[in-house]
Amino acid sequence: MTKSEIIKILTFLKGCYGHKFKYPRDSTIKTADLEEKWFSFLHNFNSVEARIAVKRACLQKPEWPPTPAEVASEIFRLLNPRAENLSGLKAWQLVLSAINRYGTYQAGEALRSLPDQVCEALDNIGGFDRVALSNNQDSYLYHRFLKAYEELSDKKLQAALLPAACEADNPAGYLAAIEEGDV
């Protein structure tokens, strides 16, 4: 996106929210600062995707204007629709279905039938065998799985929204990106 497209989005938000979203600001410095903040979050995205995401964010939360981070999250959801379709409960149901279908002794086949994120959540709570050998009504394992799955989903969303230089594995790259003004 270009800065002129950011200005169009900010003008759209001003039209939608009136006095709740002040744009342009009182001074040119404050206006430029606001534009730069929005640009830093959205510059990697397509302007069409951003406009759609802004409209969806406005519909979801009509009382307050969306933040740049909320718009970026909405763009991620637009680009990755399957990422939000599989809730923790649905993931757990997939695990139980795999157990019923493949049993305890065909763990490899069962794991291949599950999405990667579900397998990773299973590994975090002790693996497929632990769930397969437990009682299906074990609420402790269920809640641990839900927590692990939701944490993985949040981590995946954050990783997709942060610039590559900001990842925890690359702190030197993050500092360099700050110095260059990329973050």
pLDDT in tens, 5-62: 999 999 999 999 988 999 988 899 999 999 999 998 888 889 999 999 999 999 988 8
Asked if 89 and 150 sit in the same domain, the reply is: yes
Asked if 72 and 134 sit in the same domain, the reply is: no
Question: Looking at the domain assignment, is residue 71 inside a domain?
Answer: yes
Nearest to 5 by CA among 47, 46, 34: 47
Region of 18 please: left (phi>0), alpha (psi -120 to 50) or beta: left
Residue 170 is predicted with a pLDDT of 57
Asked if 75 and 90 sit in the same domain, the reply is: no
Residue 80 is predicted with a pLDDT of 73
Question: Looking at the domain assignment, is residue 66 inside a domain?
Answer: yes
pTM, two decimals, is 0.58
| Cα→Cα distances 46→50, 51, 77, 83, Å | 6, 9, 14, 20
Residue 19 is predicted with a pLDDT of 87
As separate numbers, helices (DSSP H) first and strands (DSSP E) second, the chain gives: 11, 0
Residue 165 is predicted with a pLDDT of 41
Structure tokens at 42: 């959205």
Task: Tell me the residue range of the domain where 138 lies.
Answer: 85-158
Residue 72 is predicted with a pLDDT of 87
Asked if 43 and 93 sit in the same domain, the reply is: no
Report the largest interatomic distance among the alpha carbons of the chain, rounded to a whole angstrom.
69
Residue 4 has pLDDT above 50, yes or no: yes
Residue 34 is predicted with a pLDDT of 93
Q: Greater confidence, 159 or 120?
A: 120
Question: Looking at the domain assignment, is residue 171 inside a domain?
Answer: no
Domain termination residue (choose one: 64, 79, 94) = 79
Question: Looking at the domain assignment, is residue 139 inside a domain?
Answer: yes
* Tally of domains within the chain: 2
Residue 81 has pLDDT above 60, yes or no: yes
Amino acid, res. 52: I
pLDDT tens digits for 47-68?
A: 999 999 999 999 988 899 999 9
Structure tokens at 12: 């759209």
pLDDT tens digits for 148-181?
A: 999 998 888 777 666 544 554 555 555 555 555 5
